Amino acid sequence: MNDRYDSVILHFVVRVVMIPLIIVFGIYVLLHGELSPGGGFQAGAIVAAALLLVRLALGNRQAALRIPQGLLIWLACIGLGIYMFGGILPLILGANFLDYAPIPVEWYNQFAGEHRTPRSMGIFIIEFGVFFGVAAVLVLIYDLIAGSSRQ
């Protein structure tokens, strides 16, 4: 697992075809979480699968898409922080915890040209939090297992 296989076909397929396709699909699933099947959890798992595919196919010493461990922990914390932000923002604005009704959306609708209700805006925020948390934790677990097996 630690040594990379010198196969041109494997390198080409993984680098050029699979990785961009999987990451773009994951971001699509994240951004269209309210419109089509998917959401933050699925998108995080898909993007983490793409990052793990790099490590599995090209070896663990592969420099591309190698995220340092501290940054992964920070990303997981930032994901939880985004989720808690989506919960506490309505609390500040005078509603219950995680009750998205008072979230202001007019600026976003004018900025993006969409017609979002406050509740779907809250779902949008929360899915970003779940996305960062899941993707970072899955990659972190694999990096730790692979790092402990290197000795």
Partner 1 sequence: MIWWLELSLFGLLVVAALIALSVRDMIAAVATLSVYSFLAATLLALMGAVDVALTEAALGAGVTGVLLVGAVSVVDRRTPD
Partner 2 sequence: MKLLMLAFLAGLVALLVWASADLPDRADPHAPANQHLSPELTEMTESEVVIPNLVSAILADFRSYDTLGETFVIFTAGLAVLLVLQRSRRVPEEDGDE
Binding site for partner 2 (CB under 8 A): 33-41, 73, 76-77, 79-80, 83, 87, 98, 100-101, 117, 119-120, 122-123, 126-127, 129-130, 133-134, 136-137, 140-141, 144-145, 147-148, 151
- In degrees, to the nearest 5, what angle opens at C-alpha 116 toward C-alphas 106 and 100? 85
Question: What is the number of other CB atoms lying within 10 angstroms of the CB of residue 97?
Answer: 10
* Integer Cα distance of 12 and 124 in angstroms: 35
Residue 49 near which of partner 1, partner 2, none (CB within 5-8 Å, type-dependent):
partner 1
Residue 1 near which of partner 1, partner 2, none (CB within 5-8 Å, type-dependent):
partner 1
List Cα–Cα distances, 50 to 79, 121, 126, in angstroms. 19, 27, 22
Binding site for partner 1 (CB under 8 A): 1-2, 29, 37-39, 41-42, 45-46, 48-49, 52-53, 55-56, 138, 141-142, 145-146, 148-149
Identify whether the C-beta of residue 54 lies closer than 8 Å to the C-beta of residue 62: yes
